[in-house]
Amino acid sequence: MPYTMLAMRILLTNDDGIYAPGLWYAAHALRDLGEVIISVPDREQSGVGTAITLHHPIRVNEVPSFLPGVTTYAVEGTPSDAVILALETLMEGDVDLVVSGINQGANLGWDMLISGTVAAALQAYFRGLSAIAISIAALTDVPYKPAALLLKSLVPQLMEGAVARPFLLNINLPKKSVEEIEGIEVTRTAKVVYMDQVQEGDDIRRPYYWIARTRPNSETPLEGTDVAAIRNNRISITPLQIDLSFEGHAAEFQAVTPELLEKLKGVATLPDPWVAEGGEAPPWMARRTRTLRPLRGATPRLICDGLEATLAFYERLGFKVDHEYKDKEGQRWEVLLRRDSVTLRYARREKYTAAAATGFKRKARGVGVDIYVTTLNVERIFDEFKATGVPMDPELTTTYSGAKEFAVMDPNGYRLVFGQPGTPR
């Protein structure tokens, strides 16, 4: 389906942070092609690869944009976090394209596997969206305009059906002006561009180390690779895929595996390492090395036609009113309900609709959707709920990963799924 001017919705991100010049060159170029929404780390996150934040909450701030009409979010997290939050929560409606960049510094060869710029594009591609990572092979005096002009010319062509969607592209430009660029080449990925170096220091109390990637690989890049294109002052466009499977040695490994299972089963029981050495298990073995945790801060915002009837239903299930919000007449229009680690937020429909009309931006979950909540006591909660006779699944379900869950139908048409994660492997 062809895209017309101003018809696209584009998510723009990077790994250089909110104050990176390349971000705003890209936004300026893409703004003429449609609606641009920016979601980026609030500071530089170069080299973090595909890291996502799992062990603490993530803060997001909507910040003033340097360009009118471009909604901008600064995320206290990684590039992947910024894209995940944008696509799953911050943006409403469909997204047509995700662009990551314009990055200060190249993302070439195998080095792109640790690139936050490429990782952000990957998160979009994982979700079935077309994505472009774009970088410039320069760290100082970076010429951003050629990359911005390239986006402005290339994106409409790609989105109008020149290639199948979704696509994933890694684009690199040489440190040259438009007039000095000698061509555009579709390339494959080269080997490592920079070798790791470890720099050792000492702060008197103890030694410390810096990992640096400043030593260039001395191998001559093969023609047709992204590195060779850049060295020849050409733009490199590398189509990527996420399947890392390698079939080249499959036959050799197939020859190794037939008797492997029998050998494995024939091995005598392997004692624990400390027992083999005549010792006892260390005390930390009695604890989990990874802690199962409920989702905190992710409070579903739900709407109902009858707040009092809803409260009565949830009181039967052991929920308590933790906080309530009243209007000027003293009537409750929104409440927070809690039990165990589960928190729900319910609002009266008419009050929520009136608040939304005044510019209230928080989005409620639509009736008929599944609401997933995480708890560490799912079996006990299941037994307690079942004793009340409320409409719910007759049995606990165990998923392939060992997670346990069951669902309850509430009087407003929501299906609440209570789940407990499986034990990490």
Taking only the tens of pLDDT, the chain with its 425 residues reads 444 445 789 999 999 999 999 999 999 999 999 999 999 999 988 888 889 998 778 889 999 999 999 999 999 999 999 999 999 888 878 899 999 989 999 999 988 898 999 999 999 999 999 999 999 999 899 999 999 999 999 999 998 888 888 999 999 999 999 999 999 999 999 986 666 778 888 777 788 888 776 666 667 778 999 999 999 999 999 999 988 888 888 888 888 888 888 888 887 677 777 776 677 777 766 655 554 444 444 566 788 888 889 999 999 999 999 888 887 788 888 888 888 878 888 888 877 676 666 655 555 554 446 777 787 788 999 999 999 999 999 999 887 567 888 999 988 888 888 888 765 44
Domain endpoint, select from 239, 261, 287? 239
Contacts of 209 (CB under 8 A, 6+ apart): 198, 199, 200, 201
Q: What local confidence, expressed as pLDDT, does residue 297 receive?
A: 43
pLDDT at position 259 = 83
pLDDT at position 295 is 44
Is 88 within 8 Å of 46 (Cβ atoms)?
no
Determine, yes or no, domain membership for 169.
yes
The helix or strand, by DSSP H or E, that contains position 192, with its residue range, turns out to be none
In a domain? residue 274: no
Task: Give the three-class secondary structure for 85.
Answer: helix
What pLDDT does residue 296 have?
Answer: 43
User: Has residue 276 been placed in a domain?
Assistant: no
CA gap 319, 336 in Å, rounded: 10
Q: Are 346 and 231 within one domain?
A: no
State whether 229 and 324 are in the same domain.
Answer: no
As a whole number of angstroms, the distance between CA 370 and CA 366 comes to 9
Residue 319: partners with Cβ closer than 8 Å, 6 or more residues away: 337, 338, 339, 342, 344
Of 191, 213, 239, the residue that ends a domain is 239
- 213 shares its domain with 113: yes
* Cβ-count burial 387-413 (b if 16+ within 10 Å, e if not): eeeeebbeebeeeeeeebbbbbebebe
Are 235 and 318 found together in one domain?
A: no
- How many domains does the chain fold into? 2
Domain of residue 408, CATH code: 3.10.180.10
Looking at the domain assignment, is residue 289 inside a domain? no
263 inside domain: no
Is residue 59 domain-shared with residue 184, that is, in the same domain?
yes
Q: Which of 239, 268, 293 is the endpoint of a domain? A: 239
Q: Are residues 310 and 231 in the same domain?
A: no
Does residue 257 lie within any of the structural domains?
no
59 and 157 in a single domain? The answer is: yes
Claim to verify: residue 222 and residue 365 sit in the same structural domain: no
Confidence (pLDDT) at 277: 67
Give 324-369 as a 3 state SS string: EEECCCCCEEEEEEEECCEEEEEEEHHHHHHHHHCCCCCCCCCCCC
Residues 99 and 227 in one domain: yes
Q: Are residues 50 and 170 in the same domain?
A: yes
In a domain, 272, yes or no: no
Task: Look up the domain containing 347 and give its range.
Answer: 301-420
**Distance between CA 236 and CA 189 in Å, rounded?**
10
Q: CATH number for the domain including 156?
A: 3.40.1210.10
* Residue 209 placed within a domain: yes
Residues 225 and 328 in one domain: no
Looking at the structure, tell me whether residues 206 and 317 fall in a common domain.
no
Strand partners, 339: 342
All residues at 6 or more sequence positions from 382 whose CB lies less than 8 Å from its CB, including other chains: 396, 406, 418
Farthest-apart Cα atoms in the chain, separation: 78
